[in-house]
Amino acid sequence: MKRRFRTSRYRQTPSDPGQNPGLESFELDTPGAGDISASISENENRIREAFGNSADLVIRKIKFGAYSDIQVLVVHIDGLVDDQMVIQSIIRPINFFSEWPPLEDPTPARVYNQLKDRLIAKDELSEVGRMEDLLKEVCSGNSAILVDGYNAALIVDVKGWKERNIEPPTTEPTVRGSKEGFVENLRTNTSIIRKNIRSPRLRVEELTIGAVSRHKVAIIYIDGIANNNVVQEIRDRISRISIDAVQGTGVLEEYIEDSPYSPFPTVLRTERPDRAVGSLLEGRVVVLNTQTPFVLIVPCDIFMFLSAPDDYFERYFIGSFLRLLRIILFVVSLLLPSLYVALVTFHQEMIPTELAVAIAAQREGIPFPVLVEALILEIAFEMLRETTARVPLMFGPAVSILGVLFLGQAAVQAGLTSPFIVIIVSITGIASLGVPIFSLGISIRLLRFVLLILGGTLGLYGITWGIAALLIHLASLRSYGVPYAQPILPLIPAELKDSIVRFPWWSLLKRPHLVAGPNTTRQGSDQKPGPPPPPDNGPQGGS
């Protein structure tokens, strides 16, 4: 079970993670590129020209103190910066604080250094010498300060755009877990993770992708727990991406997953910080992106998709029961319609006689074979589900009412389908919503149709064939070198403790050893709670 990574001819290790040489060809020409000039008016013109006089560009020219004639240019984009912060940390220091004490012999260089070393009241400060870098920083929500007569600029981080508050995750609700969800801001998300893992070993690496959009992507892992090969592989795969813009982690996922042709997702998407933190502590790596509240977790296995935070927060009996139930739901949603069709079409002898008679009686007068009947209802159900997800909110009830009427009543009364298949499709529909991670649930929907057709044409043999093909595929899948179907395929008995069921927390001594790096011990042994052992001299009162 050696770790195996796909060796790629594209693999390259960039010298600087932020700069990808592959991106240059995608870059649009930046107007006004070149070194920053010493003349402030020339710089101003170049900036205005570069932005094509955009309405949200703010250029403020201020004098440095009352007694000097040196002018200072403050450039930023309205809406991306926090106005209060700009006033407090840039405008006010330049205007007023520069007077205490006044600069004796104000040359441009002295003014620049005074700003840099003393005046700007902000901890995140950097310098740029080239115009295109200045423009990029301004586009990222920073403010640039230029001094007349000096050919460099100060960049002050005053980002302050409007963003959503931290809210409960909408796609992965929980009963006893944290109510905090990720948001669309990278820094907020990293801070949520930091808040939960207060160790300097938590590493946050940022890369920039998208030649035009220039979005930040963060790779987060715990040094010493995560496997370095996996971290390097993610770094490589992300820096290989050369594209104009990556719109969110959904797109990013397609660039960094292992098996692009597989129906199964090999990268876990989650909105829940506790899931991300739990994965980090198991030695996995989390990838964040600026535009979506979903983060990516690699390497992952299929049981992670079937586990929910409540499995860990409820006591282990309940946790295990819920996990088992969810696995059953997964299997039911995959197999139930095809099994029904196969049994009714080919293997009637397997159905208990009374039930077989009941089914046969209700199917009398129905013009279609069971397979067609099942397909009609399944497609109708999928239509209903897709429409309710996309329809404007005020039409939702109308769609539901029509759906209930069609699926539940009219189709049966009109003799189009039998009530049994309605029951089967409804159970399947409910079961398919029981898969906690949407990306796996959605791939089952597709596989269900394939199995349905196999079951309707070749009976149980067809379904077996389909399952065998799925198993072979699952067993050959890997997510960043880790077998996707572990610990079942391959069978790793020690790790069954947290897969189909969840053992008590105090018995989960090890991290998944195929995932975690050098250190796989999670906790001290012998922590099983219990009453203190009875004292040797019998019960003693008073103490």
Partner 1 sequence: MDLLEKGKISGFQFFALLVTVRLVPVTLFCPTVNMVTNPATAWLNDLIGSLLALPLVWLLANLSLKHPGKSIIGYAEDLLGPIAGKMAGFLIICFYFMVAATVIRTLGETLVTSIMQATPLIVFVGSAAFLAANSARNGMELNSRTAAVLTPTVVFLLISVSFMAFGYMDLQYLRPIYFPDGLTELVWPSASVLSFYTEFLVIGMLVPHLNRPEQAIPISIGAILFSLGVLLMYCFVIGSVFGPLFNSLTLPAFRLARTVSIGTFLERVEPAVTVVWIFSACVKFSLFVWATAVGLSQLLGLSDYRPMIYPMGALIVPVSILSYQGVIELLDTLTGSMIVFAIGFLLFLLLSLYVAWAIRISRQAEGGSSN
Q: Does residue 423 bind partner 1 (CB under 8 A)? A: no
10 Å Cβ neighbour count for 201? 11
Shortest distance, CB of residue 321 to partner 1, whole angstroms? Answer: 23
Contacts of 76 (CB under 8 A, 6+ apart): 58, 86, 138, 141, 142, 143, 144, 158
Which pairing describes strands 285-289 and 295-298: parallel, antiparallel, or unpaired?
antiparallel
DSSP assignment string, 401-461:
HHHIIIIIIIHHHTTSS-HHHHHHHHHHHHHHTT-SSHHHHHHHHHHHHHHHHHHHHHHHH
Piece of 264-272, 419-427, 429-437, 467-475 that binds partner 1 (CB under 8 A): 467-475
Report the alpha-carbon distance of residue 43 to residue 36 in Å, rounded. Answer: 7
Distances (CA, A) of 23 to 14, 51, 240, 241, 361: 12, 22, 9, 8, 67
Choose between 160 and 369: whose C-beta lies nearer to partner 1: 369
Q: Does residue 1 bind partner 1 (CB under 8 A)? A: yes
Choose between 97 and 465: whose C-beta lies nearer to partner 1: 465
Shortest distance, CB of residue 126 to partner 1, whole angstroms? Answer: 49
Structure tokens of 442? Answer: 């959605």
**Residue from the set 118, 472, 519, 521 that interacts with partner 1 by CB under 8 A:** 472
Piece of 83-91, 115-123, 134-142, 463-471 that binds partner 1 (CB under 8 A): 463-471
**Residue from the set 33, 357, 469, 494 that interacts with partner 1 by CB under 8 A:** 469
Residues 481-520 that bind partner 1 (CB under 8 A): 488-491
Q: Which among 187, 262, 282, 311 is positioned nearest to 474, based on CA atoms?
A: 262
Q: Quote the crossing angle between the two packed helices 273-281 and 186-196, to the nearest 10°.
A: 60
**Residue from the set 16, 29, 349, 364 that interacts with partner 1 by CB under 8 A:** 349
Report the alpha-carbon distance of residue 435 to residue 307 in Å, rounded. Answer: 8
Q: Which among 479, 515, 4 is positioned nearest to 258, based on CA atoms?
A: 479
Shortest distance, CB of residue 333 to partner 1, whole angstroms? Answer: 19
Shortest distance, CB of residue 132 to partner 1, whole angstroms? Answer: 49
Q: Does residue 471 bind partner 1 (CB under 8 A)? A: yes
Shortest distance, CB of residue 473 to partner 1, whole angstroms? Answer: 9
Shortest distance, CB of residue 369 to partner 1, whole angstroms? Answer: 15
Piece of 211-219, 285-293, 308-316, 466-474 that binds partner 1 (CB under 8 A): 466-474
Q: Does residue 7 bind partner 1 (CB under 8 A)? A: no
Query: Residues 136, 51: contact at Cβ < 8 Å?
Result: no
Choose between 14 and 459: whose C-beta lies nearer to partner 1: 459
Shortest distance, CB of residue 423 to partner 1, whole angstroms? Answer: 18
Residues that bind partner 1 (CB under 8 A): 1-2, 346-347, 349-350, 352, 458-461, 463-465, 468-469, 471-472, 475-476, 488-491
